[in-house]
Amino acid sequence: MSEPEEVNSPHPPPYSEVLCKISGRRTRFAAGTKAGFALSLMNRKLGIGAPVGLYIESVKEGEEPIIFGPSAVLVDYGDGWNLQTVSETDFSGIGKPECVREVPTPIPSGKNIDGSHSTRTKTALKPGVNLVYIAKVVLAFVMMFMLGGVFMLALDNLPELILLLESSMQKHV
């Protein structure tokens, strides 16, 4: 009894295989992996100074390529279709198409895509944290301490207030 061939199997493989055209390596990703994660992982494996992948596409000779956005799930379309990365070098010599914008892919190494260090200094503030936010936090602390001071004064003077109320109640009785 022979084992069934994978090619004739009605079920697709439980992984997607992406060719990194820059390094020439194929990487397998589990079913359901998003293209943005796959591209980020493959870009991290590239050497310093190497061009990075911009996006992943599925290609077949004689067919229009299928481009995967960062949140798209990688899909193997079957015979003849291959998943591969696309980089800036794929456009050299033929002119860049109008529809492709140069958007750098974030690399966690702290260096620019070309391997040089950034000339701008990075601020200690995270995105979404600005001076207005900090001013609001400081104002909230000031208001808390002022409210605490009011309550402290009220509690310090509470015995005198009770005596005053008792004496005024006795005069009216």
Check residue 125 and give its pLDDT.
52
CATH T-level topology, domain 1-115: Ubiquitin-like (UB roll) (3.10.20)
* DSSP assigned state of 54: E
Residues with pLDDT less than 70, the chain: 1-13, 91-127
Which tens digits make up the pLDDT trace of 49-83? 778 888 899 898 898 988 888 888 888 888 888 88
DSSP-based three-state secondary structure for 17:
strand
Encoded tokens for 105: 């892919």
Check residue 48 and give its pLDDT.
76
Q: Minimal CA–CA distance to 14: which of 81, 56, 71, 76? A: 76
Check residue 126 and give its pLDDT.
58
Crossing angle of helices 158-172/131-156, nearest 10°?
Answer: 50
Which tens digits make up the pLDDT trace of 107-120? 555 555 555 555 55
Check residue 4 and give its pLDDT.
47
Kind plus residue range of the DSSP H or E element containing 86 = strand 82-87
- Alpha-carbon gap, residue 125 to 135, rounded angstroms: 14
